[in-house]
Amino acid sequence: MTTIPQIRKLVTAIPGPKSEAILKRRSEACSSALGMAIPVVVERAGGGVIVDVDGNSIIDMGAGIAVVNVGNSAQRVVDNVKAQVEAFTHTCFMVAPYLGYIEVCEALNRLTPGTHKKKSVLLNSGAEAIENAVKIARNYTKRDAVVVFEHAYHGRTNLTMAMTAKNMPYKDGFGPFTPEIYRMPMAYPLRWPGGAEKCAEEALDFVIHKMEKELGAKNIAAIVIEPIQGEGGFIVPPKGFLPGLSKFATENGIVFIADEVQTGFARTGHMFASEHEGLVPDLIATAKGIAGGLPLSGVTGRAEIMDAVHGSGLGGTYGGSPVACAAALGAIATIEYDDLPKRALKIGEIMTTAMNAMKAKYPIIAEVRGRGAMQAFEFVLPGGLEPHPTAVGEIVKFCQKEGVLILSAGTYGNVIRLLPPLVIPENLLREALEVLDRAIASV
């Protein structure tokens, strides 16, 4: 366990003088195209806190965007990485293989939904996993078209930019984009024109109609969807929508790909969010929470699909680096031994209780939604559904000043998402929620 005191403590303003001096160097040295959610420079992090160079201890409600589910520098991750770095740092799995990579694949094959024979390939980032999942699906089906959804986020590489919905900041001026990507309406209950009740059925009918009549089902290689849309604003599809898509895919020889990059590894109260509706994706893309903070990602799926690609057709110099694999084995062991899915449910209960109480008080909150330790508020102008992004900006700033790091999200920038490390102490979580309550009251 971390030795960092689990407290919220401010000894300077945010940013403090030491952070400020280093951030000046950041401006000089690093491209101004890089964003920054909180203007502090990190010295250490662990459990539920981030400690900056001025000695401020900030409650972490973002987990590095759902990455350090097991906490920063989790003990098993640290031990495994240290041992691996001492043994060897790199051979390239395609040059000379090693056990760690194979063990991570075995773990993914075992832990992902479905009892069918599965195989895996390891890469470096979420975007790279999505790219590879699409490559595999196209190669297997010998088809081109890829179906994606409104509000989707799949990455920043050329193919995944094309798959991502939001123009600013992800796509603007970065085209041309790869062809054969088709965007479908998303089942977004809060904003569905026919109302939340009819959302699942109407959206499914609409999407299937478009796939059949506009694309031709036999031209579709893959349907790619996040079981809960992350960057898009934690949009939870209504019950039945995902199984309906998956059924249509199966009936039409289409590869159903779940992007579990943000929802995976215990975040939502199951190891994978697909499990909430008994969904068994043909391929599943994982990253983020897989390796406790080291860069690693994977594609896991039906053996016949994964094996359809010609020999040496998949790979990359660093994909499944031995150090990242050692970290992943430590992170996965922690999730399993410490039953972090259960922890995520408990965190979710605490968060939704507090968040629903806030919703009852503040008319700018249109909805509280999510699963497990992946919860969000959507902010609107009172009385309607007009997005209220300025409220989000002010709430985020208020929380920062008070020593709480929270992240925004959403196509309209009007969502606040809570993604604490799953090892956050309960009192710290409650304290963060109290600060958040005061922040919302202040706008």
The contact mask relative to ligand PLZ for 65-84 (x = CB under 6 A, - = no) is x-------------------
Would you count residue 246 as binding ligand PLZ (CB under 6 A)? no
Specify the stretch interacting with ligand PLZ by CB under 6 A; choose among 46-54, 104-112, 225-233, 401-409: 225-233
Would you count residue 320 as binding ligand PLZ (CB under 6 A)? no
Contacts with ligand PLZ by CB under 6 A: the residue count is 16
Would you count residue 259 as binding ligand PLZ (CB under 6 A)? yes
Would you count residue 321 as binding ligand PLZ (CB under 6 A)? no
Amino acid 372 reads: G
When binding is defined by CB under 6 A, the residue of 16, 126, 372, 421 that contacts ligand PLZ is: 126
Question: In residues, how long is the chain?
Answer: 443
Nearer to ligand PLZ, 285 or 358 (CB): 285
Would you count residue 335 as binding ligand PLZ (CB under 6 A)? no
CB atoms within 10 A of CB 251: 9
Would you count residue 237 as binding ligand PLZ (CB under 6 A)? no
When binding is defined by CB under 6 A, the residue of 44, 156, 346, 430 that contacts ligand PLZ is: 156
Per-residue b or e along 172-207, where b marks 16 or more CB atoms closer than 10 Å to that residue's CB: eeeeeeeebbbbbebbbbbbbeeeeeebbebbbeeb
Per-residue b or e along 304-316, where b marks 16 or more CB atoms closer than 10 Å to that residue's CB: ebbeebeeeebeb
Structure tokens of 404? 């709480």
Would you count residue 261 as binding ligand PLZ (CB under 6 A)? yes
Specify the stretch interacting with ligand PLZ by CB under 6 A; choose among 148-156, 182-190, 320-328, 383-391: 148-156
Does residue 374 contact residue 232 with C-beta atoms inside 8 Å? no
When binding is defined by CB under 6 A, the residue of 140, 149, 153, 398 that contacts ligand PLZ is: 153
C-alpha dist (Å) from residue 65 to 61, 191, 195, 216, 418: 9, 25, 31, 37, 9
CB atoms within 10 A of CB 382: 11
Would you count residue 125 as binding ligand PLZ (CB under 6 A)? yes
Specify the stretch interacting with ligand PLZ by CB under 6 A; choose among 68-76, 223-231, 346-354, 427-435: 223-231
Would you count residue 122 as binding ligand PLZ (CB under 6 A)? no
**Residue partners of 269: CB distance under 8 A and separation at least 6:** 276, 341, 342, 344, 345, 348, 371, 372, 373
Specify the stretch interacting with ligand PLZ by CB under 6 A; choose among 124-132, 363-371, 406-414, 419-427: 124-132
Would you count residue 319 as binding ligand PLZ (CB under 6 A)? no
Nearer to ligand PLZ, 154 or 270 (CB): 154
Does residue 288 contact residue 65 with C-beta atoms inside 8 Å? yes
Alpha carbon 426 to its chain centroid, in Å, reads: 23
Specify the stretch interacting with ligand PLZ by CB under 6 A; choose among 154-162, 171-179, 272-280, 323-331: 154-162
**Residue partners of 33: CB distance under 8 A and separation at least 6:** none
Residue 106 CA to residue 223 CA, distance in Å, equals 25
Would you count residue 378 as binding ligand PLZ (CB under 6 A)? no
Specify the stretch interacting with ligand PLZ by CB under 6 A; choose among 56-64, 152-160, 328-336, 363-371: 152-160
Nearer to ligand PLZ, 148 or 314 (CB): 148
Smallest gap from residue 220 Cβ to ligand PLZ (A): 20
Q: How many CA atoms lie within 13 A of 131 on its CB side?
A: 20
CA dihedral 118, 119, 122, 125 (to 10 degrees): -30
Would you count residue 262 as binding ligand PLZ (CB under 6 A)? yes
Alpha carbon 275 to its chain centroid, in Å, reads: 16
C-alpha dist (Å) from residue 50 to 3, 12, 72, 215: 12, 15, 9, 48
Give me the residue whose beta carbon is nearest to ligand PLZ. Answer: 126
When binding is defined by CB under 6 A, the residue of 52, 54, 231, 431 that contacts ligand PLZ is: 231
Does residue 256 contact residue 249 with C-beta atoms inside 8 Å? yes
Smallest gap from residue 82 Cβ to ligand PLZ (A): 24
When binding is defined by CB under 6 A, the residue of 52, 60, 202, 226 that contacts ligand PLZ is: 226
Residue 281 CA to residue 256 CA, distance in Å, equals 6
When binding is defined by CB under 6 A, the residue of 143, 154, 191, 267 that contacts ligand PLZ is: 154
| Residues at the interface with ligand PLZ (CB under 6 A) | 65, 125-127, 130, 153-156, 226, 230-231, 259, 261-262, 287
